[in-house]
Amino acid sequence: MALKFEIEKTLPGADGVPRARAARLTLPGIGGKSHEVLTPCFMPVGTAGTVKGVTTGELREMKAQVVLGNTYHLYLRPGHERVERLGGLHRFMAYDGPILTDSGGFQVFSMAGLNKIDDEGVTFQSHIDGSRHRFTPELSMEIQRSLGSDIVMAFDQCPPYPATRDEVMAAMRRTRRWAERGLKIELKPHQQRFGIFQGGLYEDLRVESAREITELPFDGFAIGGLSIGETPELMQKMAHFAAPLLPSDKPRYLMGVGRPEDLVECVRGGVDMFDCVMPTRNARNGQLFTSQGKVNIKNARYTDDSSALDADCPCETCQLYSKAYLRHLFVSNELLSARLNSVHNLTFYLRLMTAMRAAILENRLDDWVKTFYTKWNTEKSGVSGT
């Protein structure tokens, strides 16, 4: 069963290249229960079988369309075979919407203890207990097959930033060989495969890697190797360069991005799908995203602020509570703090994508972006007066 990707509208960028798109992605789903995903979309990250602090019921209420699961984490704990015995990841975490799993590649390079990469795979130590493990492109597919996700990501090598041209080229070549090996592993009928291309910040390598990966029979493509330490400007510039290298008739996914401004700029660049831990991680640290800009809720200026966090937001946090209450929960280290903050930040990210989609469909994206930035900079400039 193959996904369907129907583009409803494409807008040209300032450079005349077709870029921002609104599309309808149909995933076959387990047991013929197909899922429709309206893009551009943001996918909340549910690392270890839970989007931290929120339930899947809340994710549905906030209209999350796809949830991401991390192969590395689920392999280590509770174990992919256990998840499969328990009915698969959807059932395990009580989420009947689409799930995308990453390949585990990024985590073994960035999170795990000492890792050793060779052509066959990667040996690494668990960040939980130091135990030694080995991932190969084949095992990554097998793990994701057991998890039963709807979208399976190819196992790639993401070079660090900064990296020399030779290092990036080697990783890119290996990523291509690993992509081919992964494709030989059969998945479940409902599962779709996305390839990942690399090339760091080297335009010629991006061109070459995109060509090498897009000639393989993937159902969608991801831009890997960005948002790993380079400046947002460099990231955005490369995303703009990279997006049009991918086929226009398949979904384009920019992995690990990013700040609200990054989502805005990369949708403009031609990206359809995003994921990032920022809304939930920053929520736990008290940094909240609002239509008026960022709010550090621990700031003493909110101690007596009886106003809602974001008057424009329909989420429970904004409808029921004051900034003073949210600050109180944060400084008191109350469990409810991370929860209410996460519900809000995710709602903000999801509504940002919905608004951009509407603006694309109605051919008014540039105006929408101007208004977004004007409001977004309110809090920074102190104009809001709160």
| Least Cβ distance, residue 338 to a copy of itself (angstroms) | 6
Which of 156, 219, 272, 275 is the catalytic position?
275
Minimum separation from the CB atom of position 58 to a copy of itself (A): 10
Question: CB-wise, 2 or 300, nearer to a copy of itself?
Answer: 300
The H-or-E segment that residue 26 falls in is strand 18-27
Residue with smaller CB distance to a copy of itself, 55 or 125:
55
Active site includes 262?
Answer: no
DSSP 340-357: HHHHHHHHHHHHHHHHHH
Residue 339 makes contact with a copy of itself by CB under 8 A: yes
Q: What 3-state class would DSSP assign to 193? A: strand
- Told to judge if 15 belongs to the known catalytic residues of this protein, a careful annotator would answer no
Could you tell me which of 50, 90, 41 has the C-alpha nearest to residue 70? 50
The active-site residue out of 102, 150, 219, 262 is 102
Q: In this chain, which stretch among 84-92, 137-145, 261-269, 358-366 interacts with a copy of itself, using CB under 8 A?
A: 84-92
* Cβ proximity to a copy of itself, 231 vs 306, nearer residue: 306
Q: Which stretch binds a copy of itself (CB under 8 A): 51-59, 119-127, 344-352, 353-361?
A: 51-59
Q: Are 342 and 279 in contact (CB under 8 A)?
A: yes
Contact (Cβ atoms closer than 8 angstroms) between residue 318 and residue 326: no
Contact between 78 and a copy of itself per CB under 8 A: yes
200: DSSP letter: T
Q: Binder to a copy of itself among 53, 69, 286, 293 (CB under 8 A)?
A: 53
- Which pair of structure tokens corresponds to residue 8? 């409803």
Sign of torsion, CA 283 288 289 291?
positive
CA atoms of 12 and 75, how far apart (whole Å): 42
d(CA 95, CA 67): 9
At closest approach, how far in Å is the CB of 79 from a copy of itself?
9
Question: CA 51, CA 174: separation in Å to the nearest integer?
Answer: 32
| 51's tokens | 């989007």
Applying the rule CB under 8 A, the residues between 264 and 323 that interact with a copy of itself are 303-304, 306, 316, 320-322
Tell me what percent of the chain is helix, strand and coil, each rounded to the nearest 5.
45, 20, 40
Tell me: does residue 229 bind a copy of itself (CB under 8 A). no
Q: Does 155 bind a copy of itself (CB under 8 A)?
A: no
Interface residue with a copy of itself, options 8, 215, 334, 366 (CB under 8 A): 334
Among residues 109, 253, 325, 372, the one that binds a copy of itself under rule CB under 8 A: 325
The three-class DSSP label of residue 37 is: strand
List the catalytic residues: 102, 275
Q: Which residues would be at the binding site for a copy of itself (CB under 8 A)?
A: 48-50, 52-57, 77-78, 82, 85-87, 92-94, 303-304, 306, 316, 320-322, 324-325, 328-329, 331-332, 334-336, 338-340
